[in-house]
Structure formats: structure tokens, C-alpha cells
Amino acid sequence: MPAALRRSPAATVAKYAALLCYLVFALFPLYWLIKIAVTPDALVFTEGTQVIPSAVTLDNFRTVLLQTDFLSYFGNSLYVSLGTAAVTTLVAAAAGYAFSRFDFAGKKLLIAVMLITQMFPLLMIIAPIYKIISQVGMLNSLTSLIVVYTAFNIPFATFLMQSFFDGIPKDLEEAAMMDGSTRFQALYKVVFPLTLPGLGATLGFVFTAAWSELLFALMLISKNDAMTFPVGLLTFVSKFSVDWGQMMAAGVLALVPSCLFFIFIQRYLVQGLTSGAVKG
């Protein structure tokens, strides 16, 4: 019987082969990005689709960092993404807690409206948003991007946070209140530490969404010194040519903050923090 249950070697090989196929498929564009970034300009077209370049250089990175506005774009993006992530997570955590714990008039309606906002393609509202932002004189400001991104991310982030709060037993807060805490103390001392994974996940999600957003940044920002990184990438496209090497080098550098961010929050993403709270 156990022999029958044991996987045959062929099945194991097939499983790993499938995983490998998927990995190659998913990571190949990333590889190509890095490959072009380190290929000397002269070889980009002559070697074409050759998988491994015959020479490797860091010139593209040097040029991007020292001779373009890349660092300014990068800083702008960082500012916008961190700002959006912070504001969104704060608001979403508060809203998610309220949805999870309180009953109030209009709760269902509010949830429905928030869902509806998620159903429209963004393209539809670009014109009105542009109009609003220009009317209040916020074109070409990074704050306008934070405001717009926050507005778009709050519904999803709220649902995300709500599900994390729902996962924390109500008993814990009640026990804290019986132990003499106010609701706020219970929130701060008991619920908050247990919600860290949720906060981490929400921060990460919103940060990456804001980091890679192009459409609104393109519409609302036209001045070079307020450009975010995705918009700035387009400056590598000139009238007669595309500077592939530098563009890819900039792309590689743009991956760094996302990776750092996830390395930083991944320990909060570990599940099972609430195990042991209630019956095992």
C-alpha cells in the first residue's frame, strides 16, 4: 500500500520539469533585461538574439547614473511610492478595522460603492482626473500623484486589511478590555502587533503598484524634474533611436527598491503569527 502511494520517479521528474518551464518562462524577460543592460552598445544589434553576450560592460549603468536625470526620477518615484504606501495603508487599516469590527449605518452601501470603483477601467476617468487636477493647479506636482494613487488603491487595500483583521479573534480584544484596556489600548497592544503581516503585505502591494504606475504619471507630469521613473524611462526613446542599453540599465536599477522592500517586509508576511491565541 505505501509503495502505491509513493510517487513514481517519473512523476517527480515531470513535476520539476513543469516547474522549470514555468520559471524559465517567468524569468526570461528579467534575464533579457539584465542581458541587454550589460551588453556593450556595439553588440546589441550585431549579436541580436544570442542568449549570452560575448562581452560584458557596466558602461550603461555608469552613463545612466552620472549623465542622465535618472537619479532625479528615481528619487521622485521613491517619494511618490512611499508616500502613497504610507497614506493608503494608514487609511485602509483604519477603514478595514471599522469594517471588520463595527456595525454602522450604511456599511453595506459603502462596501458596495468601494467595489464598484474597482470595476471601471482607469482609462475612462483619465480625462476628468486631469481636469480636476489642473483646476486645482496641481499639475506637475508629485503630491497630485500621491493623492490619485491613494484614491485608487484604498478600496483594494481596505478589503485586504479587513480580511487580516477578520482573522484576528475578537476574543483577544475582549480579553484585553476585560483586562482593563480601552479599545484603543487593545488595538495598539494586542491587535496591532498581530496585524503586522497584513500591514506589511498592504504596504508592499501599494508600493509596487505606485512604483510601476505609468498612465497617470504620464498625463499629470510633463516637467522633467517632477517625472517619476516609468515616465523618465521614455526619455531614453529619442526621435531617431532607442538607447536600449541605458534603458535596460535604468530598468535594472528600478528593480532594486522593490526587491529591497520585499526583503524587508517578507519576515512580516510569515503566516501563523496568531497560532496559539485560541484553542490549538
Partner 1 sequence: MARIQLNDVKKSYGDVNVLRDINLDIQDGEFIVLVGPSGCGKSTLLRMIAGLEPISGGDFMIDGERMNDVRPRDRDIAMVFQSYALYPHMDVARNMGFSMEIRGDAAEERKSKVAAAAETLGLSKLTNRLPKALSGGQRQRVAMGRAIIRDPRAFLFDEPLSNLDAALRVEMRLEIARLHQKLGATMIYVTHDQVEALTLADRIVVLEGGDIQQVGSPLELYERPANKFVAQFIGSPTMNVVPVEGGAGGITLAGSKLTLPHLGDTSAAVELGIRPEHIDVVAPDQGMLKAVADVVEHLGSDTNIYARVEGIGPMMVRVHGNIPARSGDLLGLNIQPLNAHIFAADGTALRRADAIAA
Site of interaction with partner 1 (CB under 8 A): 169, 171-172, 174-182, 185, 189-190, 193-194, 273-280
Shortest separation between residue 182's beta carbon and partner 1, angstroms: 7
DSSP code for 226 = G
In the complex with partner 1, which residue's Cβ is closer, 173 or 213?
Answer: 173
Angle, alpha carbons 267-85-167 (nearest 5°): 55
Shortest separation between residue 274's beta carbon and partner 1, angstroms: 5
DSSP for 148-168?
A: HHHHHHHHHHHHHHHHHHHTS
In the complex with partner 1, which residue's Cβ is closer, 77 or 195?
Answer: 195
Over its C-alpha atoms, the chain yields an Rg (Å, rounded) of: 24
In the complex with partner 1, which residue's Cβ is closer, 6 or 170?
Answer: 170
Q: Which residues in 38-49 are b (16+ Cβ under 10 Å) and which e?
A: bbbeebbeebee
Shortest separation between residue 192's beta carbon and partner 1, angstroms: 10
In the complex with partner 1, which residue's Cβ is closer, 98 or 277?
Answer: 277
Shortest separation between residue 267's beta carbon and partner 1, angstroms: 14
Query: Which residue, 102, 272, 273, is CA-closest to 173?
Result: 102
The amino acid that residue 161 corresponds to is: M
The amino acid that residue 260 corresponds to is: L
In the complex with partner 1, which residue's Cβ is closer, 116 or 178?
Answer: 178
Shortest separation between residue 60's beta carbon and partner 1, angstroms: 47
Query: Which residue, 65, 73, 54, is CA-closest to 221?
Result: 73
